[in-house]
């Protein structure tokens, strides 16, 4: 069924020239419906969100017990509930009374947008509540536009992107928490009475701790491939707040938006405040169904170049850290080319003249090549990359500055810092955040990127890092009255700068990185192609980190690199096969000094990269089925990707616990066509003898109802406790 928006009664009334008198508004996607009660002059009511309804269902909704609660609750007249919007009018009145003024629908490309116009019953204060859908996708994006024509600014104290009531019951909340090196850990519990708040106030790195996405499982304990689930992702790059409030009534109330704490906004007459998008999805196919909906939408509509396969790269960071030198860079390019990789990325350490970037204490802001380290400059490197037949990428951290830099010496007024306070430093005890609210800083950041890409058009990839939170809340640019705009205006300035970059350089691939996985949010992805998932490259811990991240983000967005053993973050030694088998389940790369690997290890990686290329389209563009969760403590984890036509699949299995004589479950597959027959082939094979089922064929039905028995150990000369498997399935 095609995506459609049905505004019952509205269109008929409008075409007859009658006064608009809206009734039900139904926003449909192929498999879901959102129904609102939009009677003119009355409160906008949320009636329903869930599986797609028939016309008869819609007509009978109220009788069946629809939600019938305010769809964008306002603070004031009826103030005991959590509000989605609150404002102080120019005359000091703290209440809002928003009622429906009209409904319209429009097209934006092939997307359909329904807008319910609300206005205050007394004040010239207006809110447009928008819903956008796309053909073939079970995602509804909602956001609001807030404006007024009062005679002085109105102070917005709450401005959520959206509100969603969920029927009280055995509803479970799944969300992601974490910290540096341990991002995207899964938390999951039944929703209790009271309020659960998920928030981030870092200012810069908004997924370094919590994530701004939640899953709500409506049928009790979350299941991967069954049960009704609602997913909600706040698509924002700054501070956020998602609250699930459960009172004594029949509804859990989900409210999501920018975190308003210390961010009250003074809205001028005639100005429009647009909230970030809250993306909603519903599926009857469990958590996995919602994930697949988000992944498809992410690739097709929300991230840069979501339809293009990503290159296999080598990043220099864990290989050489700050010790950038031309011969080493050249060698690394030769090495990644020899292993079949396609891109080399030079990380931190390449810049700074007066203050060379030899460590984290200096240089940020001075994006001039350090010719002591790189006598041939960037040009020398891009030429070398050409010679080696790989593309070239470069690391920058343009929103930041060290006080030990020429930039800071010239422009101390560019940093974020409260007046009358001592500066607060970040990394290297000299790092500070530039004030992106300041247009001069926006120009500066644009110019950093523009200069690099203009001077060196061979740069095809940028790793854009950001390693410090906003501290010492104060803008040297904003007026005294508007200091509370800092967090919001920082991100507006960031967007403007990225818009300029993307307008001029639409094709460059950009990675969002922020002290590891601090920028894994759909708020970044319109401009960025991927994110660095975590600085923790330990393969075992990555199984957990990538599992959580996959709740909302497709594999193509998740940079996942093979690194050294022992691992630099956890000091754990994992065999190379396990490390490659984990990295291959995301956007494969390497983060290692190839010169410290043996010839045999390099050739194993070469084989892994060649094998990855066989499954790259399935991993990066296919549908994800999570099969066995590492969080279930059953000793192993497993997932698979299936191509949309179900002709190819890639199956991953990793041991997560290693105990002598431990029992491991056998894992039934998912997502295949039961009627098709699949040939099974192991990738990254290191065993001396092939798996018993190597080269054999099985029906999709058998594989999904029984699965294949994974030997729990590798048959190699010096086995360690860790084993893993990657299988490629090809329909015959
Ligand atoms: C933090 C990032 O997460 C790392 O990957 C690396 O780029 C360093 N910054 C460089 O300083």
HEC string for 184-199: CEEEEEECCCEEEEEE
101 with 244, same domain? yes
Q: How far, rounded to the nearest angstrom, does the alpha carbon of residue 669 sit from its chain's CA centroid?
A: 26
678 with 646, same domain? yes
Q: At what angle do helices 486-504 and 439-455 cross, to 10 degrees?
A: 30
Locate tokens 């990325």: which residue?
345
180 with 275, same domain? yes
670 with 538, same domain? no
Ligand 1 atom at shortest distance from the alpha carbon of 535: 3
549 with 670, same domain? no
- Whether 23 maps to a domain, the answer reads yes
Task: Calculate how far, in angstroms, residue 271's C-alpha sits from the geometric centre of ligand 1.
Answer: 39
Ligand 1 atom at shortest distance from the alpha carbon of 514: 3
Cβ(549)–Cβ(184) under 8 Å?
A: yes
Domain, as residue range, for 684: 626-731
Q: At which of 575, 595, 621 does a domain end?
A: 621
Ligand 1 atom at shortest distance from the alpha carbon of 347: 7
- Whether 307 maps to a domain, the answer reads no
Task: Please tell me the predicted confidence (pLDDT) of residue 612.
Answer: 98
Pocket of ligand 1 (CB under 6 A): 317, 347-348, 395, 465, 467, 513, 515-516, 532, 535
Q: What is 211-259 written as a DSSP string?
A: -SEEEEETTSS--SSSB-EEEEEEE-SS-EEEEEEE-SSSEEEEEEEE-
- Whether 500 maps to a domain, the answer reads yes
Taking alpha carbons only, the member of 140, 139, 113, 135 closest to residue 2 is 135
pLDDT digits (tens, 9 = 90+) for 278-322: 999 999 999 999 999 999 999 999 999 999 999 999 999 999 999
278 with 362, same domain? no
- Whether 666 maps to a domain, the answer reads yes
How many domains are contained in the chain?
A: 3
CATH code for position 337 = 3.20.20.70
State the CB neighbour count (10 A cutoff) for residue 179: 12
165 with 44, same domain? yes
Cβ(141)–Cβ(278) under 8 Å?
A: yes
- Whether 197 maps to a domain, the answer reads yes
Taking alpha carbons only, the member of 216, 211, 218, 221 closest to residue 186 is 211
Helix and strand numbers, DSSP H then E, in the chain: 13, 37
445 with 339, same domain? yes
Q: How far, rounded to the nearest angstrom, does the alpha carbon of residue 2 sit from its chain's CA centroid?
A: 27
Cβ(632)–Cβ(610) under 8 Å?
A: no
Taking alpha carbons only, the member of 116, 73, 69 closest to residue 95 is 73
Cβ(588)–Cβ(609) under 8 Å?
A: yes
pLDDT digits (tens, 9 = 90+) for 518-561: 999 999 999 999 999 999 999 999 999 999 999 999 999 999 99
Task: Please tell me the predicted confidence (pLDDT) of residue 67.
Answer: 87
CATH code for position 77 = 2.70.98.60
pLDDT digits (tens, 9 = 90+) for 404-459: 999 999 999 999 999 999 999 999 999 999 999 999 999 999 999 999 999 999 99
Locate tokens 């393969």: which residue?
539
Task: Calculate how far, in angstroms, residue 360's C-alpha sits from the geometric centre of ligand 1.
Answer: 10
Taking alpha carbons only, the member of 589, 662, 135 closest to residue 579 is 589
User: What average pLDDT does this structure show over 140-155?
Assistant: 98
Question: How large a percentage of the chain has pLDDT more than 90?
Answer: 95
134 with 239, same domain? yes
Q: What is the pTM of this model?
A: 0.97
Distance CA 253, CA 244 (A): 5
317 with 427, same domain? yes
Q: 319, 398, 532: which to mutate for ligand 1, most atoms within 8 A of CB? A: 532
Q: At which of 254, 269, 302 does a domain end?
A: 302
Task: Calculate how far, in angstroms, residue 323's C-alpha sits from the geometric centre of ligand 1.
Answer: 13
Distance CA 516, CA 537 (A): 10
Distance CA 458, CA 385 (A): 9
- Whether 354 maps to a domain, the answer reads yes
Distance CA 398, CA 394 (A): 12
573 with 711, same domain? no
Distance CA 462, CA 110 (A): 31
Side-by-side strand order, sheet with 677-683: 623-628, 636-642, 648-655, 724-731, 677-683, 697-699
Q: At what angle do helices 326-338 and 599-621 cross, to 10 degrees?
A: 70
- Whether 327 maps to a domain, the answer reads yes
Reduce the DSSP state of residue 381 to 3 states and report it: helix
Ligand 1 atom at shortest distance from the alpha carbon of 463: 7
396 with 504, same domain? yes
Q: At which of 621, 649, 670 does a domain end?
A: 621
Cβ(261)–Cβ(198) under 8 Å?
A: no
pLDDT digits (tens, 9 = 90+) for 566-604: 999 999 999 999 999 999 999 999 999 999 999 999 999
- Whether 308 maps to a domain, the answer reads no
CATH code for position 717 = 2.60.40.1180
Render the burial of 587-605: b for 16+ CB within 10 Å, e for the rest.
bbbbbbbbeebeeebeebb
């Amino acid at each position: 069924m095609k995506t459609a928006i049905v505004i019952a009664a509205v269109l008929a009334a409008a075409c007859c020239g009658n006064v608009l008198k809206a009734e039900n508004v139904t926003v449909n996607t192929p498999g879901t419906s959102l129904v609102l009660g939009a009677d003119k002059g009355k409160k906008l009511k949320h009636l329903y969100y869930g599986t797609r309804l028939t016309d008869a269902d819609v007509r009978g909704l109220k009788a069946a017990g629809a939600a019938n609660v305010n769809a964008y609750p306002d603070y004031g007249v009826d103030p005991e509930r959590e509000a989605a919007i609150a404002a102080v009018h120019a005359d000091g009145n703290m209440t809002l009374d928003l009622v429906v003024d009209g409904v319209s629908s429009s097209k934006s490309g092939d997307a359909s947008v329904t807008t319910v116009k609300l206005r205050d019953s007394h004040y010239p204060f207006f809110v447009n509540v928008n819903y956008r859908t796309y053909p073939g996708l079970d995602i509804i994006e909602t956001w609001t536009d807030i404006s007024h024509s009062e005679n002085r600014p109105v102070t917005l104290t709450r401005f959520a992107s959206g509100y969603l009531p969920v029927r009280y019951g055995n509803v479970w909340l799944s969300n992601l928490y974490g910290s540096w090196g341990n991002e995207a850990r899964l938390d999951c519990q039944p929703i209790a009475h009271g309020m659960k708040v998920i928030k981030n106030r870092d200012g810069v790195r908004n997924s370094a701790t919590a994530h701004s996405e939640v899953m709500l499982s409506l049928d009790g304990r979350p299941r991967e491939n069954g049960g009704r689930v609602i997913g909600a992702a706040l698509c924002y790059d700054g501070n956020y707040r998602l609250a699930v409030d459960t009172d004594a009534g029949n509804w859990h109330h989900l409210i999501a938006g920018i975190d308003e704490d210390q961010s009250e906004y003074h809205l001028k007459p005639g100005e429009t405040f647009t909230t970030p998008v809250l993306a909603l999805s519903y599926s009857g196919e469990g958590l996995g169904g919602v994930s697949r909906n988000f992944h498809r939408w992410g690739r097709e509509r929300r991230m840069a170049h979501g339809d293009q396969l990503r290159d296999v790269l080598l990043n220099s960071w864990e290989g050489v850290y700050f010790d950038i030198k031309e011969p080493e860079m050249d060698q690394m390019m030769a090495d990644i080319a020899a292993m079949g990789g396609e891109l080399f990325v030079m990380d931190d350490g390449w810049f700074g003249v007066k203050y060379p970037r030899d460590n984290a204490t200096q240089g940020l802001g001075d994006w001039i090549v350090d010719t002591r380290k790189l006598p041939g400059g960037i040009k020398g490197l891009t030429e070398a990359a050409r010679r080696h037949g790989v593309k070239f990428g470069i690391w920058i951290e343009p929103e930041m500055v060290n006080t030990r830099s020429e930039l800071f010496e010239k422009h101390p007024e560019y940093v974020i810092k409260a007046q009358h306070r001592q500066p607060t430093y970040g990394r290297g005890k000299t790092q500070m955040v530039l004030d992106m609210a300041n247009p001069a800083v926006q120009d500066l950041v644009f110019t950093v990127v523009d200069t690099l890409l203009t001077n060196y058009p061979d740069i095809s990839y940028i790793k854009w890092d950001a390693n410090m939170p906003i501290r010492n809340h104060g803008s040297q640019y904003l007026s005294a009255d508007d200091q509370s705009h800092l967090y919001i205006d920082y991100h507006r300035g960031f967007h403007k700068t990225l818009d300029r970059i993307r307008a001029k350089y639409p094709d460059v691939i950009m990675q969002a990185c922020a002290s590891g996985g601090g920028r894994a949010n759909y708020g970044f992805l319109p401009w960025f192609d991927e994110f660095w998932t975590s600085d923790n490259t330990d393969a075992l811990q990555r199984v957990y980190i990538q599992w959580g991240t996959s709740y909302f983000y497709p594999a193509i967005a998740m940079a996942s690199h093979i690194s050294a053993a022992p691992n630099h973050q956890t000091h754990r030694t994992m065999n190379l096969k396990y490390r490659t088998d984990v990295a291959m389940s995301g956007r494969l790369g390497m983060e290692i000094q190839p010169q410290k690997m043996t010839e045999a290890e390099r050739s194993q990686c070469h084989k892994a990269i060649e094998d990855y290329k066989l499954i790259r389209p399935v991993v990066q563009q296919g549908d994800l089925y999570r099969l066995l969760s590492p969080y279930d403590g059953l000793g192993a984890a497993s997932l698979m990707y299936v191509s949309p036509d179900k002709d190819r699949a890639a199956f991953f299995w990793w041991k997560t616990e290693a105990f002598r004589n431990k029992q491991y479950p056998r894992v039934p597959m998912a997502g295949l066509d039961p009627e098709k027959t699949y040939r099974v082939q192991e990738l990254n094979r290191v065993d001396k003898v092939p798996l018993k089922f190597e080269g054999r064929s099985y029906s999709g039905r058998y594989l999904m109802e029984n699965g294949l028995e994974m030997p729990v150990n590798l048959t190699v000369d010096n086995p360690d406790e860790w084993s893993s498997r990657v299988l490629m399935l090809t329909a015959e």
